[in-house]
């Protein structure tokens, strides 16, 4: 049932966007900085992901390099398993010598540019000792990243039957990796935001593996939307294609123009009902055209912004009895054309900063954080965010606009006496009023 999850019926919001006519079993368009979902189709349906799997392999490698468990220039000696897989030219591969030694960077480029499967298994062995251990790491990392609807059975995205009986233990001999479009987009979101350097390699359209040696092989990037390739699209610089008979033609893309970046995912893309190599790029083009034509990143509220009627907080024990609050920085949001007024600013005050009576306690310093301002979208086509972390990106700090010094003991004493007489007078007034 997990592998054959049925398609969910379109809800009203999805039906409203069906004019895009995305021919794919599932698709999603996301603003990359915040993870705001702008288009969705069957995004929680579990489907095959093929070599889009390699984004998780990239993530774990880059994490290992960041933590200094692996170095770019360290050398790898080819195992029997990696040798056998790398010799299969029916698969995407750079043949590796049985007695050869290769740097981590060489193997990474072969994987990221050419989707080389033998090189990918080599990376799994470098990071985890074996592909079996690496697969455990893949599933554990997916859980840590908050992904849902996924299952990894190997490091490459191949069908296990292509691994010549050497597939990781504990998985079926015909199993493949599966995810939902939402999960794939979430993985891409984490990869781009935590390791943006991936684009330096993912954006390379052509490169020669082991150039100048007898083993040199020309590697053309399978992402044909890169500049200079057959389906080039302005701004595209990543990330990963995929194909197996089970998964169909898939692509996780990203492009940036005019200060806004989008992430797209299409799964089992088709043209006129048939899966073709170019279909994944044609459907991605539709998503990107829609995004760049209809959305932009706009500054809705400047630094120093105040919500009318909510811009002050009471202060106790201060020379002043209240202080103004304002936004520390501008707040920018991805906005659909003509919908700037569909956003409402909201203050969220940190209750830990206040007394039980809801007051700040002097002294208060200018620029002191007292909460944050976020925005709420009031339109109907709100699909939410991929992650809670992304949603937090759509908020700015609320700070105190000036210093409030603590009042001296004499002022506080007079206020106390005044408060006492005020309470007595109020009590007397209520009593007198009851006589008449």
Contacts with 421 (C-beta within 8 Å, 6 or more apart), sequence order = none
Burial of 322 (0-12, 13-18, 19+ CB in 10 A): middle
CA nearest to 370, candidates 354, 386, 387:
354
Judge contact between 200 and 65, C-beta under 8 A. no
In the residue annotation, 51 being an active-site residue is answered as yes
Tell me the C-alpha distance between 238 and 317, whole Å: 57
Contacts with 434 (C-beta within 8 Å, 6 or more apart), sequence order = none
The end-to-end CA distance of the chain, in Å, is: 79
Q: Which of 33, 36, 41, 51 is catalytic?
A: 51
Half-sphere exposure of 358 (CA within 13 A, CB side): 4
Q: Which of 41, 54, 151, 286 is catalytic?
A: 54
| Strand ranges inside 248-382, DSSP E | 248-257, 260-269, 295-301, 312-316, 322-327, 331-336, 343-349, 360-361, 369-377
DSSP assignment of 39-67: EEESTTS-EE-GGGGHHHHHHHHHHHHHT
In the residue annotation, 54 being an active-site residue is answered as yes
Q: Which of 79, 86, 92, 115 is catalytic?
A: 115
Tell me the C-alpha distance between 217 and 224, whole Å: 18
Q: DSSP label at 405?
A: P
Cα three-residue angle 152-154-156, rounded to 5 degrees: 110
Tell me the C-alpha distance between 169 and 126, whole Å: 18
- The 3-state DSSP class for residue 344 equals strand
Give the residues across from 88 on adjacent strands: none
Catalytic residues: 51, 54, 115
């Amino acid at each position: 049932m997990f592998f054959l999850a049925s398609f969910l019926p379109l809800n009203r919001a999805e039906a409203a966007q069906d004019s895009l006519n995305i021919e794919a079993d599932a698709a999603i368009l996301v603003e990359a900085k915040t993870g705001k979902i702008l288009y969705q189709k069957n995004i929680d349906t579990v489907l095959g992901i093929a070599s889009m799997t390699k984004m998780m392999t990239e993530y774990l490698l880059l994490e290992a390099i960041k933590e200094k468990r692996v170095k770019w220039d360290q050398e790898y000696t080819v195992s029997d398993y990696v040798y056998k897989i790398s010799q299969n030219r029916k698969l995407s591969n750079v043949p590796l010598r049985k007695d050869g030694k290769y740097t981590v960077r060489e193997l990474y480029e072969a994987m990221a540019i050419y989707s080389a499967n033998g090189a990918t298994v080599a990376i799994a062995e470098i990071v985890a000792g074996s592909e079996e251990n690496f697969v455990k790491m893949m599933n554990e990392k997916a859980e840590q990243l908050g992904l849902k609807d996924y299952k990894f059975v190997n490091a490459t995205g191949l069908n296990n039957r292509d691994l010549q009986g050497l597939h990781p233990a504990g998985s079926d001999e015909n199993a493949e990796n599966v995810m939902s479009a939402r999960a794939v987009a979430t993985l891409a979101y984490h990869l781009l935001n935590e390791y943006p350097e991936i684009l330096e390699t993912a954006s390379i359209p052509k490169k020669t593996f082991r150039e100048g040696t007898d083993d040199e092989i020309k590697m053309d990037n399978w992402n044909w939307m890169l500049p200079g390739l057959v389906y080039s699209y302005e701004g595209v610089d990543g990330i990963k294609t995929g194909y197996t008979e089970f998964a169909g033609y898939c692509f996780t893309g990203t492009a940036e123009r005019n200060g806004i970046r989008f992430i797209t995912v299409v799964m089992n893309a088709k043209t006129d009902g048939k899966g073709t190599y170019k279909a994944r790029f044609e459907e991605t083009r539709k998503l990107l055209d829609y995004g760049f034509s209809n959305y932009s990143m706009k500054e809705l509220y400047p630094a120093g912004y105040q919500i009318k009627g909510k811009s002050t907080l009471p202060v106790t024990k201060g020379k002043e009895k209240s202080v103004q609050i304002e936004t520390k920085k501008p707040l920018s949001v991805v906005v659909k054309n003509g919908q700037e007024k569909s956003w409402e600013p909201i203050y969220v005050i940190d209750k830990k900063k206040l007394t039980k009576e809801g007051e700040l306690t002097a002294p208060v310093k200018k620029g002191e954080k007292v909460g944050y301002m976020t925005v709420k979208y009031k339109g109907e086509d709100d699909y939410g965010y991929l992650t809670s972390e992304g949603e937090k990106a759509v908020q700015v700090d609320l700070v105190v606009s000036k210093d409030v010094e603590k009042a001296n003991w004499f002022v506080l004493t007079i206020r106390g006496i005044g408060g006492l007489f005020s309470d007595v007078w109020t009590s007397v007034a209520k009593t007198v009023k009851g006589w008449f």
